Amino acid sequence: MNRSRRRNCNTVNAASLARWIVMTAFLALAGLAYVYLTLQLYHLGERRKAVENELASLRTQNDIAAGQIAALTSRSALQRRLKEGYLKMIPVSESKIVRLTIPARPTDEEAIQPVVNPLPQHESK
């Protein structure tokens, strides 16, 4: 009766089963990582596109502001505002003006003076 029991009992190769389980788990993890990274790439692409659009909008606003500043600070605009009474100009008093003068160089013998040395000439024989 022992013989008939052995025939009906199927043996399982544990090493082969473990190998297939490890390979299946590795492929499942690789697939999940691929899907996660693909979704993250998509979301980062959308975020980058939004930031680029915002940058373009800010550059446009900056150009518009630069044009307005140029228009408002032009000589004709300032003269017009002065005539309208929006601006008030007062003359600058002499006491508020600072003048810088270059001090005269001393002509003493001991003073440092720039010198150009002539190049030595080679004598030919």
Is 0.85 surpassed by the pTM of this model?
no
For residue 114, give Cα distances in angstroms to 84, 103, 104, 111: 57, 17, 15, 10
Rounded distance between C-alpha atoms, residue 113 and residue 125, angstroms: 37
Nearest to 49 by CA among 41, 39, 61, 37: 41
Please check whether residue 78 is in contact with residue 87, taking contact to mean a CB–CB distance below 8 angstroms: yes
- Tens digit of pLDDT per residue, the chain (125 long)? 455 555 666 777 888 899 999 999 999 999 999 999 999 999 999 999 999 999 999 999 999 999 999 998 888 888 888 889 888 888 889 898 888 887 776 666 666 666 667 777 766 55
Rounded distance between C-alpha atoms, residue 8 and residue 72, angstroms: 100
